[in-house]
Structure 1
């Protein structure tokens, strides 16, 4: 069973301050689609170093959403991209789609 994104780390960081939590979530909702598109643009343009840099940013958002296995996969994929390897591409895209669906529903 695949783990789903959650806001547990946001709850922990905000320490009960719901306004602060909502600000963090709104920043995530704003940045994530931009970075996701940057990833696809760089990948399609075969700019793999740039793509790895975007994956690095997304990796931390994946971690914040409680997807530890996704974080590890992202770190491995980031390293693969630097070496022009794309073995984990499809798995990484699934993580992005899962997060996108989650963010649309919160």
Structure 2
């Protein structure tokens, strides 16, 4: 399983409705955030890459996506230094693939 709900369960105190709500928002809003990140990467806009990566990071963290979070942290660092666009492009590809996989699994697991 590429996600882990331990942090979310701890935060919610086991409130299933809250967990479903957070998961639903992630499934609904993250594709748009990914699209914005992709546009920033394609434009080579380091500031926008940083901001979009930073926006996605808390949700990825909340869903226990540690590998994805690590990639996002690396992306933020590269973007902050205004350097490494080829590496940022590679990171984006990995991040997008992982997030899309989790969205697919969440839709199945939560019948969304």
TM-score, normalised via structure 2 length: 0.78
Structure whose residues are more often helix by fraction: 2
State how far apart, in whole Å, the 1-side matches of 2:13 and 2:93 are. Answer: 32
Q: Which protein has greater RCO, CA pairs closer than 8 Å, 6+ apart?
A: 2
Q: How far did 1:92 drift?
A: 4.0
Structure 1 gap segments, 5+ residues each = none
After superposition, the CA RMSD in angstroms is 1.9
Instruction: Name the count of aligned residue pairs.
Output: 104
Structure 2 gap segments, 5+ residues each = 107-112
Counterpart of 1:4 in structure 2 is 2
TM-score, normalised via structure 1 length: 0.82
Query: Contact 2:57/2:69 (CA < 8 Å) preserved in 1?
Result: yes
1:1-106 aligned at under 5 Å gives the runs 4-82=2-80, 83-86=82-85, 87-106=87-106
The superposition leaves residues 63-102 of structure 1 with CA deviations (integer Å, 9 ceiling, x where unpaired) of 1121334323311211201323232532342132122122
The superposition leaves residues 23-62 of structure 1 with CA deviations (integer Å, 9 ceiling, x where unpaired) of 1111111221010000001111222211110011112222
